[in-house]
Amino acid sequence: MAFGSRDVDQGVVLLLGGRSEIGLEVARRLSPGRVVILAARRSDQLQEQVRELVTSEAKAVHCMEFDADDLSSHQPLLEKVIVEHGRIGVAVLAFGVLGDQARAEQDPAHAVAVVHTDFVAQVNVLTSLANLLREQGDGQIVVFSSIAGIRVRRANYVYGSAKAGLDGFARGLQDALYGSGVHLLLVQSGFVIGRMTAGMEPAPLSSTPDQVADAVVAGLYRRARTAVVPRALRLVFLTMHLVPPSLWRRAPR
């Protein structure tokens, strides 16, 4: 579909991070009549996710092994999806880790591991995916940034710096894809209440996976550049850069 179209591109729905709550909610909304690919580690243990998508009237659901940290596997996986299941309509990059900030400050290997998964691996997948979709002439990509990357906080600066890098890369890639027929939606969310944040105190203006997924699908239909969830965070983003460093360093996670 051309940029500005009011429909979601036809083709396979590819979920990279097949256990992601948000990713699955997006896939469930897009699944009726479509082939869905769930790509994740231990892909033979995704029966529950497959059942959920079949119940949502997916045409077919297939599982593929995907290790985000194995960069050399990304290109072959994407090519296999296209060869075996046809063109990619929507690719959702829903993998990532929060990591342990306290550990990362003491253990360089852990800090690097967080940045590798949340930034380096994303850049690798996005570059391969963008090239394949350019050749295809269409297709949509969903990238998840975070409030943590808008202005990095002392409380979670390792995760936040990875998201800041991803946010910048995705914006540059959007411009590089202009006129190619390929659409990239950058999702900027606040605190999301779910498995990934279990045990953490919800922050103000928190959202749920359902709310994020609704915003993602709406953004795909509108061919939006960004989806901020909840919308009230747009004002927060503007004011974050006005807070002086002496106060900002005490900001909670």
| Residue positions annotated with a catalytic role | 159
Residue 174: CA atoms inside 13 Å, Cβ hemisphere, count?
A: 17
User: 162: Cβ–Cβ under 8 A, 6 or more apart, which residues?
Assistant: 114, 115, 117, 118, 119, 149
Q: Are 191 and 233 in contact (CB under 8 A)?
A: no
Residue 249: CA atoms inside 13 Å, Cβ hemisphere, count?
A: 2
Rounded CA gap, 94 and 96, in Å?
Answer: 7
Q: Containing H/E element for 15?
A: strand 12-16
User: 55: Cβ–Cβ under 8 A, 6 or more apart, which residues?
Assistant: none
- Helices and strands: H and E segment counts in the chain: 10, 7
Cα 89 to the chain's mean position, in Å?
15
